[in-house]
Structure 1
């Protein structure tokens, strides 16, 4: 059983991150942004119609109108068999063909997840989830099937516990000449679950990471079908934010995803901490199979049968509830595992050896990731100077004295800013820099950014908070409320141009963006996306060096901890801190 010492601040100081990440899954509202004309490669090719023949059968989508560059949408398309019964926790099976024409004018259902997730500004309610949820959505403005537009495949965030692909819209982004694809994947312990009997079922003796297998299956669907929507299967960019960015780093590391994408964008998240293993205990975590047995025991009465057949017969909502309420399982709800096939080793080791997908990569994070949830830090750790020092000591240990001056805590006036900057650096800036450094060891270019726009939330009360980049990337500036102004629309147009330009060519430079150099360990180049877009170098280098030193010491000592281990379940945390929502 995993042992969690509630007095060990290193293991508890970052407990916020799990509850924080699972809530960044708001439903997007549509907004208009300027467009760029995309030239077709041939006028004699077959026109794209509302009815399209794809793997599984015929679908009928939704046309906004029949004008040139009109938006065409296809929603709720199955890309795998429903993972029900014997297929629960199995790798995704081939889609079951359907008779007649499938209505693809409305999205499918959420994958199983808690009805309410998130905290503060991120709280969201998702009703009527289902295990029958493996569906994909396509937005395109192509008119002919041979246009070969760049394809952008979005992986939604939500801590690998919540959210859905259909919460993002392609109405604005497709005006930049790309085809947008989003999809659902299995979540929580229905999507990341290992068990000895599951491993015994597998020809390769592995289990776990089912959600990542769903993502890979969706990429196979794109490769086989995207030409029907005017997309280029040989120019596919995967991109994601938060847990979606975790997924991007995992797919780059997975040999099963090689060749299925050609560029990658990671926004605020990467799996570069010590990982759990399927069948091997580590000093910082029990094996994932052992955690699977903990869940099995939580679902049956004491001394009851914990066989896989009974687990598969257990209603899905009971599985979700048991995982959410168990301290050990809730603490590691979204943590992927080294299963031996999807992930043959820890992601950081795969990258260090240069075995990841060698594709152009653009990654970065926001300047104030935790700003919208800072009240939770004082709830969890205690307020004031003492609380912040406990937080720092738990994470930094031996280098606490060295780094203390970089995050001053000498007064109540400086404490909040230092706390926000420190948590931002540990949880986001440092992992993204690790990712950039690892990618610089292969031949493809990597571009690092620092997002510093102030999103149009009510009263502009937050700066560049976690998820604050999404309204700009998708051109949906009213997703958090507030009143966007002309500058916001111009900034969104710039952001969409950067993202789609990178998807098309592997280089973000172009109109309004000049001098963005590829990152190398020698130049530490990055680009500030803010009121004044500008190139820069050496992002918080001194801080990053000391954080790296602290992590290296803990790894050598065998005390490196996963950054989301909590002494209580998510529900207990929410009850304790329910008054801390901003």
Structure 2
């Protein structure tokens, strides 16, 4: 077992020491003296915010594609009133509802932000991991502003981590120079380093280092699963929130398995495509050019099963009972694929053709597939099948696994729509729950369907803020004047967030069983991935015994 251990005693690169010692600001500005160093933030009402605090050294030059290292110590009081740079990510070529201005990007991006209701006491802590397919995103996105959650007595921490080729590249030469003979997973190691920073420093910001919840959505939810599966993160968190997570197959370091080339071979192939004969040349490339060229070449960003940071496929880790035994809150949105239509296969010309393909691919499982996703409404069936295979199956499997491990866990379905989203065909789309659970209804990206400023929307947001922060506080989601959220059990109990919170049971009967059977057959075959290739895009599954 590998364990990242950092001194975390400072936070400025040597070249930036002078910039860290800033002129004194207004006397009312909050100052915290933490083991990592002294920082000056800003206060708005009762909430103090500290932004852009480095938790690891800049991974530049020879430090590119190495585990995160302790940051340099700064002198004086560091100004912490501005976000740090976002991590390098591909230059946008199209705009979507998720597009937001994240400002400057840099390899010097391993920073975090803290919102706290008080710098004294021991409040529960939520560490937020942003989404973006492990390729894009930033902790500075306005959706993730932690002030509203902090008003409920929670310390909120949001983090950056290395993205794309800079955060997840594996390569034989990188493995050869590693004492553990592994490579890849640098972005995941960054997340662990941030959690270690929290463990060492958060008490100075009024947080309880022994009451930490990790949370994330989409690739942030996938990161939560990685952290639950990783031995190097054990003991650094006490609960987990996984929103729209996906328990997909992931490349193995040196072996071609489950339909994916080894991560090392994929990295070597990228180096050949870029005509970079050595690590020295790769490390000398401009980071933005490298990132853009890797993305254009089709480099796939995933975690790596390396036997150490990620010992097994996530599914296998949970099957072996080797995941972190912590309470979980998990769920997904009814319209996940409505804003991610690239994940859904195209519809065939007719219902007859739809049924023929499904019967060819699913064999003895086809009748059940067609019952759940009938040809009578192919468009909706394709969206639902892709949603369930990725997000629905993952969410229920996760809470089921934790419940069986003796941990009270909670399942939700976000099925809330509002006029602008519904009119655009985006009812309860991917990430639509975020402004509600963060309480940032008026802080969405420019192209996001506008949420009306009504009492109904504010009530739903208030309920979700309360449920989430209650879970962070003591592992039980509760909201005053709202229904009790039942723990998941054999009756499939869950909470639906529609116009109002509505508890239910018998969650999507048959859904998880179908997709579990499909994944199990792919695992047995050994040469088939389980991710976006589902439904009409599924490989031919082996017949059941």
1:421 aligns with 2:392: no
- Distance across 2 between alignment mates of 1:319 and 1:565: 28
Residues 1:151 and 2:125 aligned together? yes
Question: Which of 426, 436, 461 is 1:472 aligned to?
Answer: 436
- 5 Å matches for 1:166-181? 166-167=140-141, 168-181=144-157
Say whether the 8 Å CA contact 1:59–1:102 is kept in structure 2: yes
Partner SS, residue 107 of structure 2: coil
SS at match of 1:493: helix
The aligned runs of 1:131-150 (5 Å cut-off) are 131-142=107-118, 144-145=119-120, 147-150=121-124
Q: Which moved more, 1:421-430 or 1:535-544?
A: 535-544
The two structures, once aligned, show a CA RMSD in angstroms of 2.4
- Say whether residues 1:54 and 2:34 are aligned partners: yes
Is the counterpart of residue 259 in structure 1 residue 235 in structure 2? yes
What pairs up with 1:132-531 in 2 under 5 angstroms?
A: 132-142=108-118, 144-145=119-120, 147-167=121-141, 168-271=144-247, 273-300=248-275, 306-327=277-298, 329=299, 332-333=300-301, 335-374=302-341, 377=344, 380=346, 385=351, 392=358, 396=362, 398-410=364-376, 414-455=377-418, 457=420, 461=424, 462-478=426-442, 479=444, 480=448, 481-520=450-489, 522-531=490-499
C-alpha distance in structure 2 between counterparts of 1:233 and 1:48, whole Å: 26
Report what 1:542 is aligned to. 510
2-structure distance, mates of 1:292, 1:250: 21
Other structure's SS at 1:337 match: coil
Check conservation: 1:270, 1:435, Cα contact below 8 A. no
Q: Following TM superposition, by how much is the alpha carbon of 1:133 offset from its aligned partner in structure 2, in angstroms?
A: 0.3
State the alpha-carbon separation in 2 of the partners of residues 349 and 114 from structure 1: 32
Change (3 A) 1:120 1:395: farther
1:319 positional shift? 1.8
> Could you list the per-position Cα deviations for residues 431-490 of structure 1 after superposition, in whole angstroms to 9, with x for gaps in the alignment?
111112221231221111111222564675432111010010111113132423110001
- 2: distance between equivalents of 1:469 and 1:276? 30
Inter-partner Cα distance in structure 2 for 1:340 and 1:375: 32
CA displacement, residues 192-231 of structure 1 (integer Å, 9 cap, x when unaligned): 1111111122211111110010000000111111111111
Instruction: Spell out, residue by residue over 1:228-249, the C-alpha distance to the aligned partner (whole angstroms, 9 max, x if none).
Output: 1111111111111111000111
DSSP 3-state at the match of 2:97: helix
Kindly tell me: are residues 158 and 264 of structure 1, through their superposed partners in 2, closer, same or farther at Cα, counting changes over 3 Å? Answer: same
Question: 1:526, 1:537 within 8 Å by CA — same for their partners in 2?
Answer: yes
Structure 1 residues 307 and 397 mapped into 2: Cα distance closer, same or farther (>3 Å)? Answer: farther
Structure 1 residues 364-418: Cα deviation after superposition (integer angstroms, max 9, x where no partner): 111111123448847x5566647855885686455234421322223xxx22222
Post-superposition shift, 1:72?
0.9
Residue number among 41, 44, 55 corresponding to 1:64 in the alignment: 44
- In the alignment, the residues of structure 1 paired with residue 88 and residue 360 of structure 2 have an alpha-carbon distance, to the nearest angstrom, of 35
Contact 1:116-1:124 at 8 Å conserved across structures: no
Find the aligned partners of 1:394 and 1:119 in 2 and give their Cα distance.
37
SS at match of 2:112: strand
Q: 1:78 to 1:456 in 2, by over 3 A?
A: farther
1:575 is matched with none
In terms of mean alpha carbon deviation, does 491-500 or 380-389 score higher?
Answer: 380-389
Q: CA deviation at 1:114?
A: 1.2
1:518, distance to aligned residue in structure 2 (A)? 2.1
In the aligned structure 1, how far is the partner of 2:41 from the partner of 2:437? 24
Shift of 1:510: 4.2
Instruction: Summarize the Cα distance change of 1:492–1:444 in structure 2 as closer, same or farther, 3 Å threshold.
Output: same
Report how many residues are paired: 500
User: What does residue 553 of structure 1 align with?
Assistant: 521
- Please, which runs of 5 or more residues in structure 2 have no aligned partner? 1-26, 535-545
Give the TM-score normalised by the residue count of structure 2: 0.86
Range with greater deviation from structure 2 (539-548 or 490-499): 539-548
Tell me how far apart the structure 2 counterparts of residues 88 and 197 of structure 1 sit (CA, whole Å): 13
